[in-house]
Chains A and B, each alone.
Chain A
Amino acid sequence: MVNAFYPKTLVQALQAKSENPSLVPYAGGTDLMVNPKEGAQFLFINGIAELKEIAAAPGSLSIGACCTYTGLLESKKMPGVLHRSIIEIASPAIRNMGTVGGNICNASPAGDTLPPLYALDARVRLASVRGTREIPLATFILGVRRIDLAPDELLVSVILPGQDFTQGYYKKIGARSAVAISKVSFAAFKKVEGGVVAAIPMAFGSVAETVVRSPEIESALIGKTPEEVRATAEAVVQMYDPLIKPIDDQRSTAQYRKKVCLALLADFLSGGG
């Protein structure tokens, strides 16, 4: 059934997935093709226009799952911190093919778009022939390469709630300036309203099984002035310490990762960036 592999619309894709739950959705292929599973059958969704739309609505921005990184970079609608995380992904050739949906569904601890998306309170829209549902990205990703996606579902879009931040902060540490899997990454925002912090989302990548973000620690900072936040930076760093559980691997050491990730946090809290 050749047509099952090349759906022209989302409806066709969902139909195919429902009939053949083992079909592997192929968006950019940049991860799938590195180590293709024996006998995998691909569902090519890279050409479906609905999955490539970027739509700004009042109070939110919807990014189609099959938007390539290059497509997002060329759109003027990406929040700055997200833009900065995308431009440091891999290489131009990878960015031309790779998609934000693929980065999310891969659910690698080192996924480059994930810390900014977590910090932006991203939600994901999932669809199947049974309907659609929308859940926070933070609950969609369950663990290393594990997502809450039913066999007949496809990730359709990522939704960013519209937020006005005063400051954004992003840093990725790789082994070289390009084409580097992240050793550590950190994305954070500060929203200052009426002289006090109204929101301060902070997200850490590559230092645990999934992105680390702590609404509890963040809420302790809400209502403080930026100076007060700066003054308590050390204490805040201590609060994050037990949540940061990096590993030794071929790229880096747990010791280094922990040190720099907390150093970036301290830098952000002290007004750096």
Chain B
Amino acid sequence: MQSARNFCHFTGSHSICDPVIKVDHHEKMGGSAVYIADMKMEGTIGAGVLRSTVSHARIEKITYPKIEQGYAIIDWRDIPGSNELEVAVSRQPILAEDIVTYIGQPIAIIAGPDENKIKEYIKQVRVEYTPLPAVLTLDDATQVMNEYGYSRGDVDAAFAQADQIVTETFRTGYQEQAYIETNGVIAKYEDGAVTVWGTLQCPFYVHGAVTQAFGLPEDKVRIIQAVTGGAFGGKEDYPSLISCYAALASYKTGKPVRMIMDRREDMRVTTKRHPSRIVLSSALSAAGELTAVKVDTTLDGGAYDGLSTVVLQRALICAAGVYNIKNLSVRGRAVVTNTVPTGAFRGFGAPQSFFAIETHMNHLAGRLGLEPLDFKRKYLARQFDPTPTGGQYHDPVILTEMIGKADEFSDYTRKHKAYQNQTGRYRKGIGLSLFLHGCGFTGSAERDYIKSVVHLLKHKDNKVEILVSITDMGQGVKTTFSKIVSQVLGIPLADVVCSNPDTRKVPNSGPTVASRSIQVVGRLLEKAAARLKEEWADGREQLIEEHYMHPDLIPWNLETFSGDAYATFAWGVNVVEVELDTLLATTRVTGAWGIFDVGTPIDQKVMQGQMEGGMLQGIGYASMEKMESVNGAPYQNSLTDYIIPTAMDTVNFHTCMVDNPYQNGPFGAKGAGELTLVGAAPAYVAAVENAAGAQFHQIPLTPEKIMEVIA
């Protein structure tokens, strides 16, 4: 059946791209898919978290109310194993011991049969704090979690010889993932073993966390993913924490414990995108050449590192955007503030960097009297160019073709010039952005830490089961993995099974992050399926195991911050068109175009969903998604006050994928999950700048902020 309109196409062709009905469509449509809050289990009790109400303090004394039979209080002393949660290279307490470092930090858990009574008890707890000095803003921060720097060429010489030096400071705010399903788990401690069901991205991260918290052998902990209602990075590390709470509560009470987070609590205390301050300084020669760029990036990591060190790495790696800048210096740090720890959100440091570099490049063009695209074209990276960190763009870079398509579909070049001479209250604006996203984990993490393993289990009835730890959170990976396997084996899609991962049944294929699922794990499944095809024996049970093999790259060195940071890159061009009401400083998006190179799309409809969904998240990030920290806590902490776009805030998007198969990806596919968000914000801001005839330096670029400049 044809859709009413088709605004998405792929310039290549491969039968794998043809859309199929997603394997989980039926149950999600009709409401029978079982999300964690839908799971029915006999005898569960609830649990609530007692949280710090101060930003930084020593806990002197806690006085609990008298609690009834059937209720229990769990604090750090009840933790049988270690009170340390490992997230990447960082540590944070599962439950606070004597110090709290942010409003919302978990101190204790109260568990029992009645949720309202639990809330009552928590209200009645008296915590006596001795306040300690609190750092509440990025600008005031002095404690550094981690810092890196790298450079190439001779930046100082270029600056010394510069005709103009342009320095700008860009700022970005929090972005809240706002998955429609909040965080939640059910945990059961029984006979010295723990089982946790949850809405989560990374079953083995949770497995590691619970194993450590309990000091249990690995086979005594079992993590099972429930159908997951959106995540976007917000369920990458947070579920490890909440799983520990529920498991500890179950351990202490002997009952299964169900913790489904209330929306406001979720928004106040779970991880969100790092706010940033990025200072860009560029040297322009008398001839109008961009001769050098200095980038200085600061990310607000909140109270604990968590994933901040890794977010920082990515933000710095892509600090120079898609440009080949000969003289470049990049430095950055993640800082500690006494606020909610920040974490992963689709893009993972890249959206901040691209907002800054693209907007800065637009401003430089303006300085030189050039159209932004004419200026940017001179510095575009090409295949075989060195990357900023001394790696290489090994694979074809087809930005020029993509820019051509973007221009053809949106009429950007003509409009951008024409819109510069408007009068009247309503003014149109159009903006364009160029961006990339490194696919997979940075450097050699895949080879040295993750060591992804996949299993294909052919049952006796010749149905083939995919056993991986990758979770479907809406991005359709159950469907795309099944397509890869079915296509290689030449068997019907219906004969391929892919269930939500259960750590007891699947090998560790790594976490569902970093745009690695299709490119890395999909590739392993492609190989496994090829091997199964060769060794196929009708009617016999067969297990094929495939291990990750690192491609031949320029080795990544974290200390020197050099080498191939990623195996390959995905690329994007976005154009956004707006209408600005200059009386009220409000905007309306009137058009959006996305041209993407993700290699071969494993399913065109799935990719269309990624492109449209990611772009709207990026537009929201740029325009209306304002979350401020006031007195150390998120001020907009409900879906009423944290504004994400509705169906009336957008228009039909026009998207296009260009054919550029990646030799090491399944059927030529590359990572795509995050790319689609990364470029929309700078394109939106450029559009508003075009309409307003003004320059902006921060997002979210709300009407209030626009008005400050154009009034």
Contact = CB atoms under 8 A, between A and B. Distances in A.
Contact of A250 (B586, B624, B641, B707): B641
Interface string A230-266: 0000000000000000000011110110011001100
Nearest to B634: A250
B409 to A, nearest CB: 25
B121 to A, nearest CB: 15
A250 B633 CA distance: 12
Nearest to A171: B584
Contacts of A264: 583-584
Contact of B707 (A171, A175, A260): A260
A173 interface: yes
Contacts of A149: none
B649 interface: yes
A178 B585 contact: no
Interface in A72-114: none
Nearest to B582: A263
A267 B648 CA distance: 25
Contacts of B708: 255
B704 A178 contact: no
A173 B646 contact: no
Given A256-B703, A260-B584, A263-B583, A177 B646 contact: yes
A253 B708 CA distance: 11
A173 B645 contact: no
Contacts of A253: 704
A250 B639 CA distance: 12
Given A176-B646, A177-B646, A251 B711 contact: no
A144 interface: no
A253 B583 CA distance: 16
B586 A178 contact: no
B646 A260 contact: no
A267 B646 CA distance: 28
Contacts of B584: 171, 173, 260, 263-264
A263 B582 CA distance: 10
B508 interface: no
A145 B645 CA distance: 29
B426 interface: no
Task: Identify which of B586, B648, B703, B704 gathers the most chain A CB atoms within 10 Å of its CB.
Answer: B704
Contacts of A260: 583-585, 703, 707
A176 B707 contact: no
A222 interface: no
Contacts of B707: 255-256, 259-260
Nearest to B630: A250
Interface string A147-188: 000000000000000000000000101011111110000000
A177 B649 contact: yes
A175 B586 CA distance: 9
Given A250-B635, A250-B636, A175 B585 contact: no
A171 B628 CA distance: 27
Nearest to A252: B704
Given A176-B643, A250-B636, A263-B584, A256 B648 contact: no
> Looking at chain B's contact residues, is the secondary structure mostly helix, strand, loop, or mixed?
loop
Contacts of B703: 173, 256, 260
B15 interface: no
A126 to B, nearest CB: 30
Contacts of B585: 256, 260
Contacts of A267: 583
Given A181-B640, A256-B704, A176 B645 contact: yes
Given A250-B635, A259-B711, A263-B584, A177 B624 contact: no
A259 B636 CA distance: 23
Interface residues of A, number: 20
Contacts of A180: 643
A173 B586 contact: yes
A259 B707 CA distance: 9
Interface string B617-654: 00000001000100000011000110101111100000
A176 B704 contact: no
**Residue from B583, B624, B628, B635 whose CB has the most chain A CB atoms within 10 Å:** B583
B485 to A, nearest CB: 42
B583 A179 contact: no
A235 B294 CA distance: 51
B643 A175 contact: yes
Contacts of B624: 175-176
A204 to B, nearest CB: 14
B583 A176 contact: no
Interface string B667-711: 000000000000000000000000000000000001110011001
Contacts of B649: 176-178
B525 to A, nearest CB: 41
Nearest to A261: B584
A180 B635 CA distance: 17
Interface in A179-200: 179-181
A266 B133 CA distance: 48
Nearest to A260: B584
A147 to B, nearest CB: 23
Contacts of A171: 584
Nearest to A266: B583
Nearest to A263: B583
Nearest to A267: B583
B559 to A, nearest CB: 44
A34 B643 CA distance: 18
A177 B648 contact: yes
Contacts of B636: 250
Nearest to B643: A175
A175 B704 CA distance: 10
A259 B586 CA distance: 13
Interface string B564-596: 000000000000000000011110000000000
Nearest to B705: A256
A105 B452 CA distance: 61
B711 A178 contact: no
Interface string A201-236: 000000000000000000000000000000000000
Nearest to A179: B646
Nearest to A175: B643
A253 B704 CA distance: 7
Interface string A28-70: 0000000000000000000000000000000000000000000
A169 B636 CA distance: 31
Contacts of A178: 646-649
A251 B648 contact: no
Nearest to A34: B640
A263 B636 CA distance: 27
Contacts of A263: 583-584
Nearest to B641: A250
Contacts of B645: 176
B374 to A, nearest CB: 35
Nearest to B644: A176
Contact of A251 (B583, B586, B641, B646): B641
Contacts of B586: 173
Contacts of B635: 250
A263 B640 CA distance: 27
A181 B624 CA distance: 14
A253 B706 CA distance: 12
Interface string A114-137: 000000000000000000000000
27 contacts: A171-B584, A173-B584, A175-B624, A175-B702, A176-B624, A176-B645, A176-B648, A176-B649, A177-B646, A177-B649, A178-B648, A178-B649, A180-B643, A181-B640, A250-B628, A250-B641, A252-B704, A255-B707, A256-B585, A256-B703, A256-B704, A259-B711, A260-B707, A263-B583, A263-B584, A264-B583, A267-B583
The 5 closest A-B pairs by CB, nearest first: A177-B648, A256-B704, A175-B643, A178-B648, A178-B646
Given A171-B584, A175-B643, 20 more contacts: A173-B584, A173-B586, A176-B624, A176-B643, A177-B646, A177-B649, A178-B647, A178-B648, A178-B649, A250-B628, A250-B635, A250-B641, A252-B704, A253-B704, A256-B704, A259-B711, A260-B584, A260-B703, A263-B583, A263-B584
